[in-house]
Amino acid sequence: MATVTFTGSGATPRVGKIMCLGQNYPAHAREMKSEVPVTPVVFLKPPTALLSTGSTVILPPFSRELHHEVELVVMIGRGGKDISRSDAAAHIAGYAVGLDMTLRDVQAAAKAKGLPWSVAKGFDTSAPVSPFVPAGDIEDPHNLMLSLQVNGSLRQRANTSAMTFRIDRIIEYLSSVFTLEEGDLIFTGTPDGVGRVVPGDRLHAEAESVGTLDVVIGSPAV
Ligand code: MG
């Protein structure tokens, strides 16, 4: 059963679906040679992709190019369908910092053929998340510094204010497509600076006021 932890309480909510935004920061869309989207770009990861802090991201044998994407992650508290922007905040249970680990070579091959990204984005260990903090502890989720270091050197740093689609709009859009349920997660997209990591690398992700996440990159056991 896929669960995550909440800071300051013993709660271990069960995670349902993991919805992810693509190209939600203009500078990242540009570095990927993509247009800034006019409607949210959405893909899913299975709950089996979850990983907790202090764990190892396993580079699968069918990829040679694993990338980091640091993101603010939202947990849904109260579920719903067709949630309005003005009601969206009431449906948020908490926030975490996460890594949308991506097999960039597999994704590029899928993109070239117009095929889905499920393998590139949803493989085991592709969704590390920090412990969650209650939504009420975060004054403004659109004014948080996000950062990622690899082996102590800074690779990504940006403010969540740069998101194209803000969280209320994301919840409005996603709930028009999917029924949202308690324990669902939303990865809100990565800023620019994504790049390759290799086995042995140590990743330290941080979201201001939210928390930190540490993982190492490993190879499959042989
Ligand atoms: Mg991403």
190 found inside a domain: yes
Q: How far is the CA of 137 from the centre of ligand 1 (A)?
A: 24
10 found inside a domain: no
pLDDT in tens, the chain (222 residues): 588 898 878 788 899 999 999 999 999 888 988 888 899 999 999 999 999 999 999 999 999 999 999 999 999 999 999 999 999 999 999 999 999 999 999 999 999 999 999 999 999 999 999 999 999 999 999 999 999 999 999 999 999 999 999 999 999 999 999 999 999 999 999 999 999 999 999 999 999 999 999 999 998 765
Q: How far is the CA of 7 from the centre of ligand 1 (A)?
A: 24
CATH number for position 59: 3.90.850.10
pTM: 0.96
Q: How far is the CA of 20 from the centre of ligand 1 (A)?
A: 7
Q: Identify whether the C-beta of residue 81 lies closer than 8 Å to the C-beta of residue 179.
A: yes
- Strands (DSSP E) contained in 92-165 are 92-99, 102-103, 127-129, 133-134, 145-150, 153-159
6 found inside a domain: no
11 found inside a domain: no
5 found inside a domain: no
87 found inside a domain: yes
Q: From CA 7, how far away is CA 11, in angstroms rounded?
A: 8
Task: Print the domain residue range for 152.
Answer: 18-218
Of the candidates 184, 192, 50, the residue with the CA atom closest to the CA atom of residue 130 = 50
Residue 35's Cα: distance from chain center in Å? Answer: 20
The amino acid occupying position 191 is P
Tokens 């603010």 — which residue? 72
Residue 10 CB contacts under 8 Å (≥ 6 apart), including other chains? none
- Split into its structural domains, the chain has a count of 1
Q: How far is the CA of 100 from the centre of ligand 1 (A)?
A: 5
